[in-house]
Structure 1
């Protein structure tokens, strides 16, 4: 009976430890409500495919807005998913098809947010984008 009890305690302890470690690598949820006129000069790089801009003051560590080759605009949190509690802000590459974590060296594809170079294993946190003929909005 005591072997079963010890086995149960060990299994439960390992389960808790693995959950805690995994949860530490998740970017915290924060309210995002960014809105700007579509002709805002800060967004001019989004006029062509492959264009990207950084918007500070929104999300956990800022926003990256990117116009994919198909014309859709996507928004990501600027925080790297490698050790997100460090709040390391991604830098845009030139040309802007990737973003690099200056703290770990990880690289992410902006077309879908997926990790392109280790140590990244999780995609970038993505937010909902709405574009009308007059305005662009990023919400969560």
Structure 2
């Protein structure tokens, strides 16, 4: 009986710790995305080097485009998976090593995977396709 009484508070703590990312938590709205950009444009000088990035206005709160290498680009929603309803936009850290949410402190690597903070889900990723110097982004 004593073991059961000790187990109840532990279960309550664990349930509370997961509440933000449970099925009852807010969901990032699915906004249609179908855009393109010229990776050689003067508007996106950062996309000319590996680890470079650009912010776009499309998506729910915007999109972060990250250059992996000359032929590979990733695109992520600028909304944290921990609390999509907050007013913050995800940002690439000045070190260019990770993406961060200035509100909750969650951190994601440049492939969109969680590396720190309260978030437990990877960033929403959009499809990318590079044809010559045009990057197509869609969902």
TM-score range, shorter chain: 0.7 to 0.9
Q: Residue 44 of structure 2 aligns to a residue in which SS?
A: helix
Distance 2:43 2:95 in 1: 18
Alignment partners' CA distance in 1, 2:66 and 2:98:
10
Paired residues of 1:51 and 1:96 also in contact (CA < 8 A): yes
Question: Superposed, which structure 2 residues align to 1:23-38 within 5 Å?
Answer: 23-38=24-39
**Partner of residue 41, structure 2:** 40
Query: Number of residues paired by the alignment?
Result: 120
TM-score normalised by structure 2 residue count:
0.77
Tell me which protein shows more helix as a share of its residues.
1
Change (3 A) 1:32 1:70: same
Q: TM-score, normalised by structure 1?
A: 0.77
Checking the alignment, whether the CA contact within 8 Å between 2:77 and 2:123 is kept in structure 1 is yes
Alignment partners' CA distance in 1, 2:116 and 2:22: 21
Match of 1:91 in 2: 91
Deviation, structure 1 residue 39 = 2.1
User: Aligned partners of 1:42, 1:97: CA distance in 2, in Å?
Assistant: 22
> How far does the alpha carbon of each residue in 1:45-83 deviate from its partner, in whole angstroms, 9 at most, with x for none?
111111111112x11110000011574100000111111
Asked if residue 54 in structure 1 is aligned to residue 55 in structure 2, the reply is: yes
Partner of 1:76: 76
Is contact 2:72-2:130 (8 Å) kept? Answer: no
Could you tell me how far 1:93 is from its partner in structure 2? Answer: 0.6
1:85-130 CA deviation, whole Å, 9 max, x = no partner?
22521111122221110110111111x2011112010000000011
SS in 1 for 2:23: helix
Query: Could you say what secondary structure the match of 2:115 adopts?
Result: strand
- Note the residue ranges of structure 2 that are not aligned, 5 or more in a row: 1-18
Q: What residue ranges of structure 1 are gaps of 5+ in the alignment?
A: 1-17
